[in-house]
């Protein structure tokens, strides 16, 4: 049973099936792991139910976010074992709001200080924290590709598959998945490793991404896939001082 079956009407599923959508896209041979906005702002600190967490952390997804962090930590460990590149995004803003654009218009708590540059809320959660050889980008818009150098590094590494993790499914994950698809990457979402503050939005977007833009699949399948990837397949790309 897919995680969206309890919210997608049978009639809608039948339409997509008859139209030929949701065909598995498959996996490539040179994957990278992309961790989108796995920062304290989006899970809270400490772990609390969402209605408690959002009193301080307005972006927080609460306990489902921490469940996602723990699942993603397993994937990070496997990625490091296989020596595939890891890319991270963070979110932060200036204290004068000049870099917020239309975000200023869409939230009544936009002046909460938790996402100002230098705040603890912008730190990547320690359970999945980057190492010195990982790439970390600050983005200002939903997609990890928009106005960042992510695509250029994926090209340089010869990546053909993006394993996408993080939050939120309906926002940054969806927009990043569409951009990854648009750049012709195999796009994989381990279903336990993406999350949202709203379960309806989470499930509907997972359904739609799986139908058209990538493969939503259990984490166990992604871990098994990584076992089939050639060991240290990116050895020709690591700088000499970072050989691992």
Tell me the two tokens of residue 25: 């896209």
**Do residues 136 and 91 make contact, with C-beta atoms less than 8 angstroms apart?**
no
For 193, the token pair is: 């490793």
Cα 195-47-206 angle, rounded to 5 deg: 5
pTM given for the model: 0.95
Q: What is the pLDDT along the chain (244 residues), one digit of tens a residue?
A: 899 999 999 999 999 999 999 999 999 999 999 999 999 999 999 999 999 999 999 999 999 999 999 999 999 999 999 999 999 999 988 888 888 888 788 888 888 998 999 999 999 999 999 999 999 999 999 999 999 999 999 999 999 999 999 999 999 999 999 999 999 999 999 999 999 999 999 999 999 999 999 999 999 999 999 999 999 999 998 876 455 4
d(Cα 208, Cα 210) in Å, to the nearest integer? Answer: 5
Residue where the block lists tokens 């980008």? 137
Q: Is 193 a catalytic residue?
A: no
Domains within the chain, CATH numbers bracketed: 10-229 (3.40.50.850)
Cα separation values, 116 from 63, 99, 102, 197, 209, Å: 24, 11, 16, 21, 31
Using only the alpha carbons of the chain, give its radius of gyration.
18
Q: Which of 38, 172, 188, 206 is catalytic?
A: 172
How far is 68 from 194, CA to CA, in rounded Å? 6
């Amino acid at each position: 049973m897919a995680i969206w079956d309890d919210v997608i009407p049978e009639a809608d599923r039948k339409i997509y099936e008859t139209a030929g959508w949701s065909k598995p896209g498959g996996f490539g041979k040179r994957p990278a792991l992309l961790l989108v906005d796995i920062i304290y702002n989006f899970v809270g600190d400490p772990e609390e139910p969402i209605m408690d967490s959002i009193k301080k952390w307005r972006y927080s997804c609460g306990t489902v976010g921490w469940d996602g962090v723990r699942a993603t930590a397993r994937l990070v460990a496997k990625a490091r074992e296989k020596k595939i590149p890891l890319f991270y995004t963070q979110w932060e803003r200036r204290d004068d709001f000049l870099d917020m654009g239309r975000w200023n218009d869409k939230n009544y708590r936009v002046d909460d200080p938790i996402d100002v540059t230098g705040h603890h809320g912008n730190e990547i959660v320690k359970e999945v924290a980057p190492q010195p050889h990982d790439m970390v980008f600050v983005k200002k818009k939903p997609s990890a590709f928009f106005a960042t150098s992510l695509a250029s590094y994926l090209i340089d590494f010869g990546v053909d598959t993006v394993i996408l993790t993080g939050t939120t499914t309906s926002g940054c994950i969806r927009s990043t998945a569409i951009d990854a698809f648009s750049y012709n990457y195999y796009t994989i979402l381990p279903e336990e490793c993406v999350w949202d503050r709203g379960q309806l939005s989470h499930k509907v977007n997972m359904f739609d991404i799986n139908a058209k833009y990538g493969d939503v699949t259990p984490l166990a399948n992604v871990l098994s896939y990584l076992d089939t990837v050639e060991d240290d397949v990116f050895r020709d790309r690591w700088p000499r001082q970072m050989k691992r």
